[in-house]
């Protein structure tokens, strides 16, 4: 199977798994747009490893759907599944602990997992500005700081991603500052 076919197979699989899910943004965007955006960001940052791009598309399937590691391994191979597992939160933990662990563990991830993690945070920060969820200013600010800390732990794997993460965090704080002054 060609790399293009494998990538499209991952997109189709993720679309099916996330078919009934929506993002928490103001537009209730179909969830599949997010993992596709994460893969697109990686591709724009010159990440050409098809298995990293596949894992980016699949990165939330175990965490947010009924998908199992065994299913991913059987369908996409051990490396893709391993990358997905490396960026998957343990939903058995409370939200604050999951976030704390993301920050603490970011620097210990493999370089490929760091690429996915930082692209995920870039995508989330862009979405936060483009179609913000109904969150108070404090919650948005807390998310921006969290994303910046996780991305900071992933620095050094891709110069473009590093720059984009800093830009998105900074511009998110600028938006918050303007909105805060206007209230």
Active site residues: 63-64
Residue 22 pairs with which residues in a beta bridge?
30
Query: Quick one: CA torsion of 90, 169, 142, 128, rounded to 10 degrees?
Result: -80
Q: How many CA atoms lie within 13 A of 155 on its CB side?
A: 10
Q: Which of 49, 107, 115 lies closest to 79 in space, CA to CA?
A: 49
* E strand spans, the chain: none
Ramachandran region, residue 65 (left: φ > 0; alpha: ψ -120 to 50; beta: rest): beta
Contacts of 137 (CB under 8 A, 6+ apart): 176, 179, 180, 183
User: What DSSP line would sit under 138-167, residue for residue?
Assistant: HHHHHHHHHHHHHHHHTTTS-HHHHHHHHH
């Amino acid at each position: 199977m060609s790399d293009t076919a494998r990538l499209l197979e991952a997109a189709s699989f993720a679309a099916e798994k996330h078919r009934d899910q929506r993002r928490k943004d103001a537009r209730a965007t179909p969830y599949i747009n997010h993992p596709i955006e994460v893969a697109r960001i990686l591709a724009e940052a010159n990440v050409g490893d098809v298995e990293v791009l596949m894992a980016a598309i699949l990165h939330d399937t175990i965490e947010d759907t009924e998908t199992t590691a065994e299913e991913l391994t059987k369908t996409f191979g051990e490396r893709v599944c391993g990358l997905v597992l490396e960026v998957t939160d343990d939903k058995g933990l409370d939200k604050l602990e999951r976030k704390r662990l993301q920050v603490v563990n970011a620097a210990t991830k493999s370089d490929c997992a760091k690429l996915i993690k930082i692209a995920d945070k870039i995508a989330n920060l862009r979405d936060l500005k483009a179609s913000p969820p109904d969150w108070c200013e404090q919650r948005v600010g807390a998310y921006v700081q969290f994303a910046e800390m996780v991305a900071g732990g992933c620095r050094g794997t891709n110069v473009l991603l590093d720059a984009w993460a800093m830009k998105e965090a900074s511009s998110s704080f600028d938006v918050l500052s303007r909105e805060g002054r206007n209230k």
